[in-house]
Every structure is written in structure tokens, then in C-alpha cells.
Structure 1
Amino acid sequence: MDKKVTVVGAGNVGATAAQRLAEKELCDVVLIDIVEGVPQGKALDLTEAAPIEKHDAHLTGTNGYEASEHSDIVIITAGIPRKPGMSRDDLISTNAKIMKDVTQHIAKLSPDAVLIIVSNPLDAMCHVAYEASGFPKNRVIGMAGVLDSARFRAFIAMELDVSVENTHAFVLGGHGDTMVPLPRYSTVAGIPITELMPKDRIDALVERTANGGAEIVSLLKTGSAYYAPASAAVEMAESILKDKKKILPCAAYLEGEYGFNDLFIGVPVKLGTKGAEDIIEIKLTDDEKAALEKSASAVRELKEVLKKLA
């Protein structure tokens, strides 16, 4: 295939992203992980499924970076999950080191790639990748809003008993409990959900969306979500690879948009071959602005932690 996407991190999110990319025949896939045998085994397993799934994407598993050279997109899922007793600062410290190392390797071999960051804490890791890569802002994007919006859409469809294909939703802000779902811009077949259900039900869905990841963690007990996060990253990759110009909520570097500077925050972004080709500014109510400011403050706090670690 004429396109190549590298996925760094062969855990559940990374391996599922590799599967989605290959089965959609979007590109050849390189799967990288530091654990010997894991990326090789998962790539081989996916290759053996290809005759059944009817795709001709080539999958390569490796512990090094050489095979990733000249990638069009690199999806970075590498990092450790937060463990019991681990502080947020500990998590940021460990994952920032991993992100910096990964990004520097990638930038040398694929200087024209678009980076899609999935590792947590998402907004902070975007800043690390941006600085470590030296890439222009349009080629470093965080995956959060697509996932959060998909969760909101799923809950709307369940609540109203309609097709998920009819549902559209927007979630702005940082990835986490400060995210800002926007019911006014969330619709079913073009009809705002504010006209289809009472405020108390909308509020309940908004709260469930904000806690979407935690809800899955509480059910799985020993892991976190990976099907939906992988699908979200691949939707972003597809829009870039095919130059579809989809407008999707992504963590993008802001320089004055929405009144914020030098911050990665979830906003509507047009995704095409060049990455984040345009940031769409929508009008917000005072309450929505206040919620977005609260979300931005949480991202600023993470940035301050990064500065102390540097």
C-alpha cells in the first residue's frame, strides 16, 4: 500500500488500532513495542487473519524504530496506566519520559509525519510530543474529543432508541472530568437533543460521558477501555490519509483561538493531509465558556507539573 501508519505501543489500544487500520485497508501498519515478541506476535496474528478479513495490508511487528521510517502518521499509545497508590505527578513523570523518547525517535525517521497522541494524561502528553518533535502545531494532535463525542453519541442513541448513525455530538475541553459536552450542538438527524429530551436526562448523559472511561475501568477491574479509543484514533487517521477534511473534536494547539494561548485543548478541527488544517471557532454561551475555562485551567496545571519535571 502507498500509505504507512506506525502504532507505538502494542497493548490493547495499539493492537486494536493496528487491526482497524489494516481491516479498513487504509495503509500498511508498523506495530512497535519494547516488549520482545509482543508486537511481532500480534502483527503475525493479524496477518494470518488477513485472508479471512480480505485485506492486503502488510503488518510488521518490531522492537525498534527502523521499520517506521517515512510513516505518514504515527499513533502513540505508549505509556503506563495509573496504578493504585500512584500520584498524578508520578504518572506524568513516567509517561513524559516515554513520550519524549518515542517522539524523538519518530521525528528523526519520519520528519513529515502527523502525530496522533493517545497516551495519558492526554493534553499534557501532546505538549511533550510537540516540544520533543519540533513539528509544526498542525502535525501534533491529541485523540480525546472523538472518543468522548462517540460515548456521548452512543448514550444519546441508547436513551432515544435511535440509530447511532443519526446522532452527532460535540465534546470540547480537556480529556477527563473537566470535558465540556455541548448539548446545543448535539443532534439526532439534525434535531438538537435539547428538543428531544428533558434537561435532567441530558445532564445525566453529560455526566455519564464525563465518567465514561472510569465506568469501563470499574467494570473491567484490571484494565481500561480500548475498542472505542482505538476506533477514535483510526477515524482521525482515516480523515488525514484520505484528505477527507472531516471536522472532528481533537486536542489542538491554540494560539488565541477561544481566548487561549500555548495550550492543547479539545476543539473542532478540520483534519486533512496536513493534519489539523483549521480550527473551527463556535459561539459559546457564558456557561459553556466558563466550563471550557475550567477545563483549560486543569490543562495548565498539568503543564506546570511538566515544567517542574523538566
Structure 2
Amino acid sequence: MQPNQYSHRKVTIIGTGLVGMSYAYAMTIKGLVREIGLINRTAARAEGEAMDLSHGLPFVKPMDIQAGGYELCRDAQIVVIAAGANQKEGETRLDLAKRNVKIVEDIVPKILEHNSNPILLIVSNPVDILTHVALKVSGLPSQRVISSGTVLDTMRFRHLLSEFYDVDPRNVHGYVIGEHGDSEVPVWSRVNIAGIPLDDYCESCGKSIEARKIAIENDVRTAAYDVIEKKQATYYAIGLAMIRITEAVLMNQHSVLTVGTLMQGEYGLKDVCLSLPSIVGAQGVDRVLANPLADSELHALRESARILREGLDSIGY
């Protein structure tokens, strides 16, 4: 694929908590960008993080890491919103909505004062609700307001399947769609291993997945709760998910990723942001792929959209 038109790649991160900085740290190791901007409500925190990352620059590719105000959004191809209250133990992502909507409503206009056409990558939870809010507040084309969606859930799904079959997770292909949350939908009907449909793979290796499906679904769905219970927050895996999305955008890779974006009639869904496999490139989401689903999966996806729509209604969107 042709690389992005920008030779000077820049990403600005708003929110220098554990998620934002896991992403920034991974970005320095990968050497994806020439410039990183760090913005935080507490300026000293962003300054300290910029200093800490900068001290490692002799061992990575050249880049400029700065902390400051919203002027750092200028010329950034991607502006990441990772600011907001953290999910508490026992709290659902939708419970976070009212606390974090006001933060997004405040942040987005400040970004646009300095950058009229960025790609907004939303990571703060509840990510589907906040993506919808950011889209409405910004007025940007829907393809340019995306979220990390179910990229992380899909990673977890593939990891668990790879453990069950003892095969490299990079050769396990499958998706989780819908809400990044409790109503998410693992698409079993489309899972394949090295191009072999799951049922055929089970038959060839003599290892049936049927007895494990519900447990795997539950493990994917509750993974965040389990991690939060043990270490108070999740951040490494989502940081890597964000890296993958960033790479697809900056390198114009046209990669298929389950980012969140506005539905515009796919499966009959409209006026709600959720995740489906989407082709991601330099302009954000080039195209959403609405492939045939099993009837049960389609029903579950529509139910997921209904739950999200109710959440949006409850906050006036």
C-alpha cells in the first residue's frame, strides 16, 4: 500500500494516564512517528512523562516528544482521546458514560481550534458512547472519528482460541463485533485457522470447540473486569491495539480492524457507533464490511446496538 502523504508523522495524546502512556511507550519502541504530543489536565504529569520517554531516545528511532497545551494538536494526523475517569471494580463501561461525556464535550472543540481535520481516535470508556459524542460535537466526517472499538476484544478472542488449539494466534482469524462491552458478539461463524473454517479444523485435529464456546465468550467479555480486580486497570493490551490502528492509518495499510464507527445502514443499523470489521487507512475508515452473519449473531448484534442506543438516549444524544 502507498504510505500516508505526510512525511512528518505526528500523534497527539490527550490523557497521560496508564492507557495513554502505555500507547506512547509502545509508539517510541515501534518508531511509528516523528513527533508525539502529550496533553494532560495536570500539566506537570504530561511534562514528567515527556521527560521520562525522552530519556530513552538514544536507544530508539529519532523523534520529538513534547508536553504542552492543545496547540500540540496542530499538524497531528491522529489525535487520541485517552482522558477520562477510570472504570472502577464492578462498574460497567456504560456506567462511566455520564462522567466522561462532559470531558469529551470539553476536549473536542479545543482540538479543532488547532487542527480542523484530524483523525480522532477515541479510547476512553464507554468508548462507543464517547465516539458518538465526539462525532456529533466535532462535525467531522464519520470516517475520521473512530474508536479502538473491539480490536482488543478480538485480540482476546484470538488469544483464547490459539491457547485451546495450541497454534500461533497470528494464524487464528476471527472477530468480536458490536459494543466494546457486555453485549459484544463473538462471530463464531466466521472463525478460521490458517484459512480453514473452524468446524473443518476441529474435524481435522479431533478437538471440538463446542463445549468451550460459552466459557471462551465469557472469558473475552469479562477479561477487563478480571484484570481490574487483580491490578486495578488494563493498559498494555489496549496500548498495542492502539498501535495497530495507528500503523494502519499512518502507513495507509487498508487493514481490516474492528474499530468503532458510525453505522450507516449496515445490518439495518443507523445512528449508533459500534464495531464491525472495517478497512482502515490514511483517511480513517475507508469501508465497513457487513458480511453475512449467522441468525443468532445478527440478532445479538442488533441487541447490542439497541443497548447502545438506549445509553445514548439516556445522555441526550
Alignment TM class, shorter chain as reference: over 0.9
Q: Is the 8 A contact 1:20 1:231 kept in 2?
A: yes
Q: CA deviation at 1:4?
A: 0.7
Residue identity opposite 2:168 in structure 1: S
Letter in 1 for 2:27: L
Residue aligning to 1:256: 265
Is 1:36 paired with 2:47? no
3-state secondary structure, aligned to 1:75? strand
> How far apart, CA to CA, are the structure 2 residues paired with 1:294 and 1:251?
16
State the TM-score, normalizing by the size of structure 1: 0.93
Q: Which aligned pairs between 1:194-273 and structure 2 lie closer than 5 A?
A: 194=199, 195-196=201-202, 197-220=208-231, 223-273=232-282
Query: Shift of the alpha carbon at 1:88?
Result: 7.4
Higher relative contact order (CA 8 A, sep 6+): 2
Percent of aligned pairs with the same amino acid: 32
Amino acid at match of 1:279: V
Aligned position for 2:158: 153
Number of the residue aligned with 2:18: 12
Is residue 70–residue 112 contact of structure 1 (8 Å, CA) maintained in 2? Answer: no
Residue 135 (structure 1) aligns with: 140
1:225-262 Cα offsets, whole Å, 9 max, x none, are 10011111121111010000001111110111111111
Please tell me the root mean square deviation across aligned C-alpha atoms, in Å.
Answer: 1.8
CA distance in structure 1 between the aligned counterparts of 2:198 and 2:127, rounded to whole angstroms: 28
Whole-angstrom CA distance in 2 between matches of 1:84 and 1:191: 39
Q: Is residue 275 from structure 1 mapped to residue 284 from structure 2 by the alignment? A: yes
| Secondary structure of 1:41 counterpart | helix
Q: What stretches of structure 2 of length at least 5 have no aligned partner?
A: 1-6, 203-207
- Matched position secondary structure for 2:234: coil
Equivalent in 18, 31, 41 of residue 25 of structure 1? 31
What is the identity, as a one-letter code, of the residue corresponding to 2:226? E
Taking a change above 3 Å as real, the CA distance of residues 282 and 90 of structure 1, as seen in their structure-2 partners, is closer
Task: Figure out how many residues of one structure are paired with residues of the other and give that number.
Answer: 304
Aligned residue number for residue 61 of structure 2: 55
The alpha-carbon deviation at position 84 of structure 1 amounts to: 6.6
Residues 1:89 and 1:202: Cα distance change in structure 2 (over 3 Å): closer
Question: In the TM superposition, what is the alpha-carbon distance from 1:278 to its structure 2 partner?
Answer: 0.5
Report the Cα distance in structure 1 between the residues aligned to 2:222 and 2:95, rounded to whole angstroms.
22
1:100-146 CA-to-partner distances (Å, cap 9, x unmatched) read: 11111112211121011111111110111001111010000111211
The 3-state SS of whatever aligns with 2:258 is strand
* 1:72 corresponds to: 77
TM-score, L = length of structure 2: 0.91
